Structures are given as structure tokens and as C-alpha cells.
Amino acid sequence: MSDHILLMRGITKTFPGVTALQDVNLSVRRGEIHAICGENGAGKSTLMKVLSGVYPHGSYEGEIVFDGEPCRFGGIRDSEHAGIVIIHQELALCPQLSIAENIFLGNERASRWLIDWNRTNHEAARLMERVGLRESPVTQVADIGVGKQQLVEIAKALSKEVKLLILDEPTAALNDEDSAHLLDLLRGLRDTGITCVIISHKLNEIIEIADSITILRDGRTVDTLDRADGVTEERIIAGMVGRDLEHRFPPHEPRIGAEVLRVEDWTVHSPTQPGRKVVDGASLTLRAGEIVGLAGLMGAGRTELAMSVFGRAYGVNISGRLYKDGRRIELRSVRDAIDHGIAYATEDRKRYGLNLIEDIKRNISAAGLPGLARHGWVNEMEEYRVAEGFRRSMNIKAPGVTSTVGKLSGGNQQKVVLSKWIHTDPDVLILDEPTRGIDVGAKYEIYTIINRLADEGKAILVISSELPELLGLCDRIYTLSQGRITGEVPREEATQERLMYHMTIGQE
């Protein structure tokens, strides 16, 4: 057992009324990349918070042995001192400071009271070279992309002489190129003796990079897999959800009806960069009972297209024509769009979709409130009845509709968002990344709901970054590249390769 850098044994962490972790064991060998998998709420983050001292020694049961020493961390400083650094999903950088300042934040290169800028920038440049970040150390963090910001975080960790680097969903916000670079970097770090623990939902990446995998489910260790044993996505998923997930998508027989929404020659300009076309002459049609996909790489203009159609919620200088049920319509505001039976469920539910401090009931009624009111007064009993109905039909897991939305898991929050829009009784539902950040079991439920909505005769447009999701769900898929519709592929002919081909047309 001496080759283990980290042993966590019998970790149990309870919050009042909830057992978040129950007798969890984790052993990480020195110099390996160890992945932790589990559904949302399985206890991954809690385990990492126990390890990094966010939950200090004494607030949990069990023991931690790091580098051969039993550890009793009282806070993050203690764990960092021991050589454990955690990089959170939401990066903790100061955007207005330079890269070098961020790297040495809280750990300044100073002689007595004054910061030694030469040393700061010089050492920063060395660390940046090590992580493959080609920028000037004095560049402001706000001016570099998310991928490079991630590298700054890693450089910062290296500056603290890290032995164990923990990355929480490091590639969630990155494009494929940046992800690949990051994974390469992690391999490089492993070869220099730094152990990595990576938490990720992207199973293909885990399989590519991890030497061993620990799977958590409901706060317990379910399984530990070794690369040598031959790991497959199916095996990990089975462990995570506790069942064999042969069919990731519910079967669905489409009953496609008449055209509901037609967008013609839609052009949208960027509000921040004058003159730049974000959507360029796009045309598409949606039909009743049909699930249509919209595929495109980051920055292709998918969300921008959807939001500009949704009552000009995005963009300036919008031109083009909209037809609803064959008749020309003008949508000047979000209210107009809702009144014309169009709904848009955002890709970022926490920022744009929900009032997290409010309860389920009031979130569900937020968009369709006029329908629950007479002469400006809300019928609260009816509101309760409607919300309770959605809680049951959508299987929102919460004690009641007066529970605060911010406390729900991602999947249940997404169901609240969907309920809100279904309550406006739309004919057209635009779902932007409907399963982002939610776990496998809840995804299946969302797919079932989408199928049910299509069966009720609604026209549905699904925007997704996950091609398998579009292939499994949609009857027809449009591809978008640099603001232009570059392809329209029926379900039978759709393959990942073909979609990717259309998605990259027009790019160098």
C-alpha cells in the first residue's frame, strides 16, 4: 500500500437530516490520473471538500492519509500546505488582474512589503511555459479565453508545489481543441510525478486519460475500475446509475403534422461587435409533432439564432421573416413571442432560467402568470394546483412545490424550467442544451418528456452540443456553421461524421 499517495478510509459526512457520504473509500496511487465518476448528487464534490479541508477535520468521520501522514485539515490552507490543490469548475481568477498576478495571488513574490514584479513575471513566465500557455504574463485574465484561464489555474497550482491536483469538471466549458490540450497537459504533469484526481461527466475523456476510476453512487463507493481491466463507457454508466443502460434514448415513433414555424432569411448582428453577423441568412421550418435538432460548434450562433427568434431577446439589426401556421408574424418582445405560442428554455438555467431563491410553484408560474390571474390578481390556489400537477407529471423530486428551486438537483431544476414553458401552452418549444449538466438517469427522463411533448403535437427544436443526443432524439437535424445553415439531415441519413462535416464547412 506504500505506493498510495492518498488514502481516504470510511469517510462519512452527514448534514442535518442527510447523509451525503457513507463509508466512502478512495485510494489514489502516486503518479496516476484517477477519475471520480458519479451522477450529480452522488457525493463527488462533498468528498473533495472533505479532502481539501473545506469541511474541517471533526465534521466528518473516517481518516485521511496523505503522503503517508494522517491528515487533520482545518481549512483549505492546511491542505494546500500539504500539497493538495483543488481547481473548481467555476474558475477562481480575478479577471482584472494579470496572469502573473493571478498565479501568485495569496502567495506573492515579495521582498518584505513590496511585490517584486520582475521575479513575479519571470517565474510566472516559467510556469506558463510548463503548462503550454503562450501569452504575456502581464496580459489581463479577462482578455484570454476560458481554456487559457484553466491553464492559469493549473500554473497557479504548480506555483504552490502541488503533489495532488484535483480538477472538478475541467473540460465542461472547453471546446474540443482546448480539452485535448488540457488532457495532454495532465499526462505531461503525471510524467513529472504529479498525481491528478479528475471529476468529469465526459466519459470518453475519462476512458482516454484515467489510469483508474472510482465510481460513487448515492454517497457510497460503488466500484473502482483499473485501466488494465478494460473499461468501457457502458461499464461506467452501469456503475453510476446502478442499471444497465443499453437504451440511452426512449423509443419514439414520430407523428409529424403541418408546418408550425418557418424562419426565412434570418440575419442577426452582434450587439457588442458592430457589423458582425452572428446569424447570416438562416432559414428553417418546424412541424407539429416533430423534434428537430440544431447542431453547431461553439460560436456557430445556435443560441443567438434561437434567442433572436424568441422576441429579439438577443442581437441588434435583426432582419428576416417569421411565419407561424403560415401567417407572417412580428415578435418585438419576449411577451410577444410567448403570446404567439413560442417558448425558449435557456442553456444556462441558473443564470437565465430560474429564480433560485423562489419556490417551485412561483418559478413554474413565472412566464404564464397572466393565465392564472383575473384583473391583475393571481389565483394562488389555482397556481398551487397547476404546480402540483407538474410536480407529479414531470416527476420533480422535491418535498413539495413550496421547496426552494436553488436546492434542487440539476435535473429537477431543468424539469421546473420545462414545466414553466409547458405551462404557457406553446406550439413551438425551443430547448437549448436541455440536458447540460444533468446526470444520466435524469437525462432519460427529459428525453421522455420531450417525446411526450412532440406526441402532443408541439414543434420542438433541440439545440445540443452532444451529437449522440441529437442522433438519438431528433427526427431531422439542421447544422449551423458561422451563422449559416449548412445542412439539413433526416434521421435516417444522420451520422456523427456527416453532421460534423456540415458543422465545419466554411471553417479553415
Partner 1 sequence: MSSISPAGVEAGPKDGKEGGSGPPRRPGRVALGSLSINVRQSGIYIAFALIVVLFTVLTDGAMLQPQNISNIIVQNSYILILAVGMILIIIAGHIDLSVGSVVAVTGAVAAVLMVDFGVPWPLALLITLVVGGLIGAWQGFWIAYFGIPSFIVTLAGMLLFRALTLTVLGNQGIGPFPDAVRTLSNGFTDGYLGNIGLGVLGGADLFSLLVGLMAVAGMVAAQWRTRTARAGYGQGVDPLPVFVLKTAAGAALIMAVVVQLARFKNLPWVLVLLAVLVLGYSLLANRSVFGRRIYAVGGNLQAAVLSGIKVKSVVFWIFVNMGVLAAMAGIIFAGRLNQAGPTAGNSFELDAIAAAFIGGAAVQGGVGKVVGAITGGLIMGVINNGMSLIGSPSERVMLVKGIVLLAAVAFDVWTKRRAGAAR
Find the binding residues for partner 1 in span 313-342 (CB under 8 A): 313, 333-335, 337-338
DSSP letter assigned to residue 369: G
Binding mask 25-54 for partner 1 (x = CB under 8 A): xxx-x---------xxxx------------
Residue 133 Cβ vs partner 1, minimum distance, rounded to whole Å? 32
Binding mask 274-313 for partner 1 (x = CB under 8 A): ------------------------------------xx-x
Residue 67 or 211: the one with the smaller Cβ distance to partner 1 is 211
Query: Can you list the positions of beta strands (E) in 227-347?
Result: 259-269, 277-287, 291-296, 316-324, 327-329, 342-345
Residue 224 in contact with partner 1, rule: CB under 8 A: yes
Residue 140 or 409: the one with the smaller Cβ distance to partner 1 is 409
Residue 113 in contact with partner 1, rule: CB under 8 A: no
Decide: 153 and 91 in contact? Cβ < 8 Å: yes
Residues ≥6 apart with Cβ < 8 Å to 332: 311, 312
Residue 242 in contact with partner 1, rule: CB under 8 A: yes
CA nearest neighbour of 464 among 452, 451, 474 = 474
Cα(470)–Cα(491) distance, rounded to whole angstroms? 9
Decide: 53 and 78 in contact? Cβ < 8 Å: yes
Q: Tell me which of 120, 121, 212, 419 binds partner 1, using CB under 8 A.
A: 212
Residue 91 Cβ vs partner 1, minimum distance, rounded to whole Å? 21
Residue 384 or 501: the one with the smaller Cβ distance to partner 1 is 384
Cα(309)–Cα(315) distance, rounded to whole angstroms? 10
Residue 240 in contact with partner 1, rule: CB under 8 A: yes
Decide: 280 and 333 in contact? Cβ < 8 Å: no
Q: Tell me which of 326, 357, 492, 493 binds partner 1, using CB under 8 A.
A: 357
Stretch that binds partner 1, among 72-80, 165-173, 238-246, 317-325 (CB under 8 A): 238-246
Cα(464)–Cα(445) distance, rounded to whole angstroms? 16
Q: Which residue has the cell 463527488?
A: 44
Q: Tell me which of 78, 116, 218, 259 binds partner 1, using CB under 8 A.
A: 218
Give me the half-sphere count of Cα atoms (radius 13 Å) on the Cβ side of residue 288: 12
Residue 185 Cβ vs partner 1, minimum distance, rounded to whole Å? 26
Count the residues of the shown chain that bind partner 1, applying the rule CB under 8 A: 82
Q: Tell me which of 17, 106, 230, 275 binds partner 1, using CB under 8 A.
A: 17
Cα(199)–Cα(197) distance, rounded to whole angstroms? 7
Q: Tell me which of 65, 241, 256, 329 binds partner 1, using CB under 8 A.
A: 241
Q: Tell me which of 125, 151, 354, 480 binds partner 1, using CB under 8 A.
A: 354
Which secondary structure element, helix H or strand E, spans residue 454, and what is its range? helix 440-455
Residue 266 Cβ vs partner 1, minimum distance, rounded to whole Å? 19
Q: Tell me which of 120, 346, 419, 464 binds partner 1, using CB under 8 A.
A: 346
> Per CB under 8 A, which of residues 166..185 are in contact with partner 1?
none
Residue 224 or 283: the one with the smaller Cβ distance to partner 1 is 224
DSSP letter assigned to residue 353: I
CA nearest neighbour of 292 among 151, 443, 453, 162 = 453
Decide: 141 and 94 in contact? Cβ < 8 Å: yes
Residue 356 in contact with partner 1, rule: CB under 8 A: yes
Pairing of strands 33-37, 195-199: parallel
CA nearest neighbour of 141 among 126, 124, 158, 129 = 124
Residue 152 or 166: the one with the smaller Cβ distance to partner 1 is 166
DSSP letter assigned to residue 94: -
Stretch that binds partner 1, among 60-68, 400-408, 450-458, 469-477 (CB under 8 A): 400-408
Lookup: cell for 326: 403560415
Residue 362 or 502: the one with the smaller Cβ distance to partner 1 is 362
Residue 162 or 398: the one with the smaller Cβ distance to partner 1 is 398
Q: Which residue has the cell 468521520?
A: 61
Residue 5 Cβ vs partner 1, minimum distance, rounded to whole Å? 13
Stretch that binds partner 1, among 76-84, 115-123, 172-180, 383-391 (CB under 8 A): 383-391
CA nearest neighbour of 71 among 157, 159, 5 = 5
Map 38-57 to HEC letters: CCCCCCHHHHHHHHHCCCCC
Binding mask 363-382 for partner 1 (x = CB under 8 A): --xxx-xx--x--xxx-xx-
Lookup: cell for 179: 480539452
Residue 255 in contact with partner 1, rule: CB under 8 A: no
**DSSP bridge pairs for 321:** 264
Stretch that binds partner 1, among 104-112, 163-171, 270-278, 351-359 (CB under 8 A): 351-359
Which secondary structure element, helix H or strand E, spans residue 440, and what is its range? helix 440-455
Stretch that binds partner 1, among 273-281, 285-293, 318-326, 344-352 (CB under 8 A): 344-352
Stretch that binds partner 1, among 198-206, 297-305, 399-407, 462-470 (CB under 8 A): 399-407
Which secondary structure element, helix H or strand E, spans residue 76, and what is its range? helix 76-82
Decide: 363 and 354 in contact? Cβ < 8 Å: yes
Residue 370 Cβ vs partner 1, minimum distance, rounded to whole Å? 6
Residue 280 Cβ vs partner 1, minimum distance, rounded to whole Å? 24
Residues ≥6 apart with Cβ < 8 Å to 297: 175, 481, 503, 504, 507
> Per CB under 8 A, which of residues 432..461 are in contact with partner 1?
438-439, 441-442, 445
